[in-house]
Amino acid sequence: MSRYLVALVWPLFSVCAAHAEAPASQTPLAPVRGSDEMPLLHVRTPMPAPDWALLEREVLRASATACEEFFAKYFDERGFLLCVERWGGDDGPDDAIENCNDWPILHALGAKDKILRLYKKAWEGHLRQYTLAKTTHVPFAKDGMYYKEFPVMFDWLHHAEGLTVFCNQGLGDPGDPRLLQRARRYAGFYLNEEPGADNYDPKHKIIRSMFNGSRGPLLRKATALDWAGDPIEVNNRFAPRHGERSYDEMLAHFKDYNDIVGDHPQNLMATSLALNAFLLTGEKKYKDWILDYADAWRQRILDNGGILPTNVGLDGKIGGAAGGKWYGGVYGWAFTVVVPQTGKLAHRNNHVLGIHGFGNAFLLTGDDRFLDPWRQMIDKVNAHSKTANSVALYPHMHGDQGWYDFRPDKYKHGAEEIWYWSMRDSDLARVPPSGWIAYLQGKNSSFPEQALRQDLETIRRKVAHMRADKTTPDTRLADDPMGYNPAVAANLVRLTMGGLHHGNRTLTLHARLRYFDPDRRRAGLPDDVAALVEKMTAEETVVWLVNVSPVHGRRVVLQAGGYGEHEFTRASGDGVAVKISGRHLQVDLEPGAGTRLVLRMRRYVHPPRLRMPFN
């Protein structure tokens, strides 16, 4: 082991003595009794702990430990964020709870239970804090920025950022009764079950405005004030992360953010609320609404010549609230604005956020009809390429004069997701073969160690900046601490689960595998256990499982899919093959043992659910 690696992982060895009291499976144990029969695979072959396994365990430990320090600095005993509460797109309620983004995923990966307690405390405090917080100038938030524990009305770019903690709580804590109550209520805002929140038009199958929420849709043009929030002192007090030097520049940032009436693809992210309710309840109405709404948008792509429109009017017609222009509206294909601080143009086309809704529909059905229009759109956009100085250039925007914003890189929004869901070689051809993708193709064997070492450096850097932060609660905006949030989960999701991580909008966990600790009866990899997904195809997943403890045996339950949507059919490892017909497999690992598991699977054959395998 290199001296550098030793330096990175020495804290892991310093706490090994603590594992002496941890539950250990010293002898073969019977399969855990759960909702389906759970075959058992016993791994006895010793394996020297690989670098990636030690690094995984240290990233998990260090990230969680740093989160505790972060919480102690930036939150009070109520779970309130210590900041100046504001409404707006520059800095607002969504930014406040974003400070705990990835904490639920970190816990679901195996981080200690204290992380669960802390982020739940922050979430409860957040709901109370921003229900009490009121605007003085923005009209729809004067009685509270939150109503019924949900934003009164705003766009889904920001809703999604503020809901990632909530939407991932069920991964580690599906039995919380408040989670279920809120899941039903939040979905009800879009199924028209909550009085005063008539966001959805079932006749035209549209969400009626880009601004929507617990008080319903905003059915007028938005103003810069609606987006920027109340007047605020900036100079010598705050340093907004978007670079504004005055409140006037905040208003200028949003001066063209007017045309928000009608539907926009980013509203497809609202399907994550109905999905969350379905995962917890299994009630058909939530699934039906998701598929109905996603299918309406799918048809709009087909009706618009294969390109996803960015405005649908209240009459249900494409471009109906944007002068008939399919590319119109805020965050549309033609949404190019001036940055007030620099005078430069910024292209802000957010149609790509709609991919999340199609992914939710695919998770529920495995039906390629929700993917095919998007993959064809990628090819159609790139077909409008042009050549300049012998260089091929590809468009990324479309306005009154046709396609523009030509760049050397191909338009590829959604390409990785389409491949991940379909597992087709033809879809993989649209994805740049770098990093994790190259590793899965056997072309970048050093990626796991490199990525995990970089994660450790990221944690170190964030903690150093956090400790050097001299802001006080009255000079701190809600998004100021976000850059110091030390929850580092993206590479762990990719490497251990074979999953997709969508940054601060990971509302749905698309994963090939999940893990559970049957001794502690909780989600996540047990102490000392590390996993590395080496290969994925449509029918097979190859994963290394290692117990890095030389003293204690460990057992782990594997689940097929992030929500049990897949099914194992066969598992082979350590010289043994086991036939399976279910969502779960128990693996017992002797001290210091490890194996390469080859798992045969059928994908998207079960209704996804949020449930522990031992319940």
- In the structure, how many helices (H) and strands (E) does the chain have? 18, 20
Return the DSSP state at 521: T
Question: What is the residue type of 448?
Answer: P
Backbone angles phi, psi at 270, to 5 degrees: -60, -20
Q: What is the per-residue pLDDT for 32?
A: 58
Q: How far apart are CA 173 and CA 516, in angstroms?
A: 12
End-to-end Cα spacing for the chain: 41
Q: Which residues of the chain have pLDDT under 70?
A: 1-37
Question: What is the residue type of 461?
Answer: R
Q: What is the per-residue pLDDT for 7?
A: 37
Return the DSSP state at 483: G
Return the DSSP state at 283: -
Q: How far apart are CA 99 and CA 466, in angstroms?
A: 12
Q: What is the per-residue pLDDT for 244?
A: 86
Q: What is the per-residue pLDDT for 609?
A: 98
Contact assessment for residue 271 and residue 360, using Cβ atoms and an 8 Å cutoff: yes
Strands 584-589 vs 40-43: parallel, antiparallel or unpaired = parallel
**Burial (CB count within 10 angstroms: exposed 0-12, middle 13-18, buried 19+), residue 468:** exposed
Q: What is the per-residue pLDDT for 30?
A: 56
User: Average pLDDT over the chain, rounded to whole?
Assistant: 94
DSSP 420-465: HHH--HHHHTTS---HHHHHHTTS-TTHHHHHHHHHHHHHHHHHHH
DSSP 136-149: SSSGGGTT-SEETT
Q: What is the per-residue pLDDT for 243?
A: 81
Q: Report the candidate in 573, 594, 593 with the shortest Cα–Cα distance to residue 585.
A: 573
Q: What is the dihedral of CA 309, 310, 315, 320, to 10 degrees?
A: -90
Contact assessment for residue 554 and residue 547, using Cβ atoms and an 8 Å cutoff: yes
Q: How far apart are CA 103 and CA 464, in angstroms?
A: 19
Q: How far apart are CA 117 and CA 126, in angstroms?
A: 14
Q: How far apart are CA 370 and CA 294, in angstroms?
A: 8
Contact assessment for residue 79 and residue 119, using Cβ atoms and an 8 Å cutoff: no
Q: How far apart are CA 104 and CA 110, in angstroms?
A: 10
What CATH number is given for 3-49+512-602 in this structure? 2.60.40.1180
Question: What is the residue type of 328?
Answer: G
Contact assessment for residue 63 and residue 456, using Cβ atoms and an 8 Å cutoff: no
Q: Report the candidate in 462, 531, 457 with the shortest Cα–Cα distance to residue 493.
A: 531
